[in-house]
């Protein structure tokens, strides 16, 4: 097995807005950075919920539909539901307690770790526009790109994952 990871690149697509799937993406991203792999995460549609900054949300210059959409969607990583067994939030609370008991970092800590380690976070320009989000509503360091830009990045990667 070749353990040389020098100049390797991982490209992730995060399409899911689920807590556990975002946790999986960030676990992989952090682990890859720990072994020296360059990592980018392209967040599209529901995946954008992970990187919305709760302190930067605005309703200014939004249509009625966009305002209604904002009022019923998660803001920031800790508001994401589980993909399975959410049970109106009880399942997620159980998972978070189990994570705490095993000293597993929260989703927010995984996200902050990825940011500090230099994971590049991209948002799908079309998804942001369709969902009525503003570029300034996202985490610092986030970059808005097109699907074509993502494909150029992914085609130059050694591994691509879709979550």
pLDDT in tens, 34-57: 999 999 999 999 999 999 998 998
CATH of domain 9-162: 3.40.1260.10
Mean pLDDT computed over 6-18: 96
- The pLDDT assigned to 114 comes to 97
pTM of the model: 0.91
Mean pLDDT computed over 81-109: 92
If you average pLDDT over every residue of the chain, what do you get?
A: 93
Number of neighbouring beta carbons within 10 Å of residue 47: 24
Strand order across the 143-145 sheet: 143-145, 120-124, 38-43, 9-14, 159-162
Q: Which residues pair with 43 in a beta bridge?
A: 14, 123
CA angle 92, 33, 80 (to 5 degrees): 20
What percent of the chain shows pLDDT beyond 90? 81
Sequence-distant (6+) residues with CB within 8 A of 46 are 15, 16, 17, 18
Sequence spans of domains, the chain: 9-162
Mean pLDDT computed over 117-127: 98
Q: Which position has the higher pLDDT, 86 or 138? A: 138
- The pLDDT assigned to 2 comes to 56
């Amino acid at each position: 097995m070749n353990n040389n990871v020098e100049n390797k690149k991982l490209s992730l697509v995060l399409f899911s807005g689920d807590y556990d799937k975002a946790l999986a993406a960030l676990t992989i991203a952090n682990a890859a950075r720990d072994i020296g792999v360059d990592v980018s995460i392209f967040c599209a549609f529901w995946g954008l919920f992970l990187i919305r900054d709760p302190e930067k949300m605005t309703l200014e210059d939004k249509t009625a539909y966009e305002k209604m959409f904002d009022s019923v969607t998660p803001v920031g990583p800790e508001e994401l539901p589980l993909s399975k067994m959410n049970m109106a939030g009880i399942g997620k609370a159980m998972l978070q307690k189990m994570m705490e008991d095993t000293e597993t970092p929260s989703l927010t800590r995984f996200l902050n770790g990825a940011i500090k380690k230099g994971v590049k976070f991209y948002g799908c320009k079309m998804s942001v526009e369709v969902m009525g989000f503003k570029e300034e509503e996202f985490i610092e360091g986030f970059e808005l790109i097109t699907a074509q830009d993502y494909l150029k990045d992914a085609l130059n990667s050694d591994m691509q994952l879709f979550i």
